């Protein structure tokens, strides 16, 4: 089957044309910063046409930045997309724009994990957690070879698991969820708070008032910056606790680690994380941490796989 896979992110839309298990073409475009969900879907449709001008794909899969209501193609909310504060039927809207072809919608980290399990770092493993570190921390869960959606489409929200139940300070540094320690947005808030409290850090020297990117953190870490090292040390511990807990709760064979932040922090970070999971493992409940292998295009590949593998929700019959 020929399928188009789309990864709809807050900054860019990436698409692949996927045929017989291979990427035969790709295309991308910036995501509209302003406007409405209709504008976003127009942009997605234009990328679909760009990667598949002859309309060869039978189905279109799309990974979206938020939990999708199961059994539908509806994305109720997406903080990173303009005007997306209400239910939008992505499947129907995109199908209408693409010659009434079938459209399958799923969460972006879900399809990213599916791609790694089928064609990337997780090949050969049936019980895999794909963890993606970026602005926040998200995950996808493949159990007994099947991507888990959950009854409300929430499965994999590891960023919202609790790793520090007494830390309920609220406010800037969260309430003890993994994302409060290991998500880039909260890590920046922690760094700026420490800077304002009088601790010097190259993190602020590097960016001033601009946003700290993954590369900023990697640079500060390489320079041995105390604040960066300590915040990343906490992030590593929090990740190890959450992942060791996930292994104990659902029993996993493999952790695939991806996302911009993990990529930039590289093998040193990954190996430190793996060691701390060993330290915390229950019984034989250890699982190795492998780097995601499909990079930037994994999400789009996963969306194509999701469209070809599964029964179809929404779109044309």
Residue (48 or 114) nearer to a second copy, CB:
114
Compute how many other C-beta atoms are within 10 angstroms of the C-beta atom of residue 54: 7
Among 29, 49, 213, 280, binds a second copy (CB under 8 A): 280
Among 1, 24, 249, 271, binds a second copy (CB under 8 A): 249
> Who contacts 12 (Cβ-Cβ below 8 Å, separation ≥6)?
28, 29, 30, 31
Q: What angle do CA 136, 139, 141 make, to 5 degrees?
A: 170
Enter the DSSP assignment of 28: E
Shortest Å distance, C-beta 299 to a second copy: 20
| Distance from chain centroid for Cα 35 | 24
The span from the CA of 158 to the CA of 175, in Å, is 14
Site for a second copy in 98-127 (CB under 8 A): 126-127
> Who contacts 240 (Cβ-Cβ below 8 Å, separation ≥6)?
273, 276, 277, 279, 280
Among 68, 240, 273, 304, binds a second copy (CB under 8 A): 240
Shortest Å distance, C-beta 288 to a second copy: 13
Largest CA distance in the chain: 62
Shortest Å distance, C-beta 210 to a second copy: 29
Strand partners, 69: none
Q: CB–CB of 122/256 below 8 Å? A: yes
Q: Does 246 bind a second copy (CB under 8 A)?
A: yes
Strand partners, 130: 140, 256
Site for a second copy in 64-93 (CB under 8 A): 67
Q: Does 21 bind a second copy (CB under 8 A)?
A: no
Residue (179 or 188) nearer to a second copy, CB:
179
Site for a second copy in 173-212 (CB under 8 A): 175-177
Shortest Å distance, C-beta 10 to a second copy: 18
Q: Does 238 bind a second copy (CB under 8 A)?
A: yes
Q: CB–CB of 36/93 below 8 Å? A: no
Shortest Å distance, C-beta 50 to a second copy: 33
Residue (73 or 176) nearer to a second copy, CB:
176
Q: Does 278 bind a second copy (CB under 8 A)?
A: no
The span from the CA of 303 to the CA of 61, in Å, is 5
- Binding residues for a second copy, rule: CB under 8 A, are 67, 126-127, 139, 141, 143, 148-166, 175-177, 237-238, 240-242, 244-253, 280, 282-285
């Amino acid at each position: 089957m020929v399928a188009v896979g789309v990864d709809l992110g807050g900054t860019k839309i990436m698409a692949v044309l996927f045929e017989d298990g291979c990427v035969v073409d790709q295309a991308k475009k910036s995501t509209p910063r302003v406007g409405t969900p209709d504008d976003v879907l127009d942009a997605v449709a234009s990328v679909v046409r760009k990667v598949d001008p002859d309309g060869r794909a039978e189905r279109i899969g799309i990974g979206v930045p938020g939990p999708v209501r199961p059994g539908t193609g509806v994305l109720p909310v997406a903080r990173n997309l303009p005007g997306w504060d209400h239910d939008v039927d992505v499947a129907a809207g995109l199908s209408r724009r693409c010659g009434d072809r079938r459209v399958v919608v799923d969460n972006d980290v879900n399809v990213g994990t599916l791609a790694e399990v089928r064609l990337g770092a997780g090949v050969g493993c049936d019980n895999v957690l794909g963890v993606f570190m970026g602005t926040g921390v998200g995950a996808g869960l493949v159990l007994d070879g099947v991507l888990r959606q959950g009854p409300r489409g929430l499965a994999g929200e590891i960023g919202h698991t609790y790793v520090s139940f007494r830390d309920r300070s609220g406010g800037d540094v969260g309430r003890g969820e993994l994302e409060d320690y290991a998500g880039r947005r909260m890590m920046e808030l922690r760094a700026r708070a420490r800077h304002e409290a009088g601790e010097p850090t190259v993190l602020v020297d590097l960016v001033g008032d601009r946003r700290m990117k993954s590369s900023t953190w990697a640079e500060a870490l390489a320079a041995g910056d105390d604040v960066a090292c300590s915040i990343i040390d906490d992030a590593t511990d929090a990740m190890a606790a959450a992942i060791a807990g996930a292994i104990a709760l659902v029993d996993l064979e493999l952790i695939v680690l991806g996302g911009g932040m993990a990529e930039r922090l590289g093998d040193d970070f990954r190996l430190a994380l793996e060691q701390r999971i060993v330290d915390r493992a229950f019984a034989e409940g250890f699982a190795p941490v492998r780097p995601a292998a499909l990079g930037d295009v994994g999400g789009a590949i996963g969306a194509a796989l999701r469209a070809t593998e599964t029964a179809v929700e929404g779109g044309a019959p």
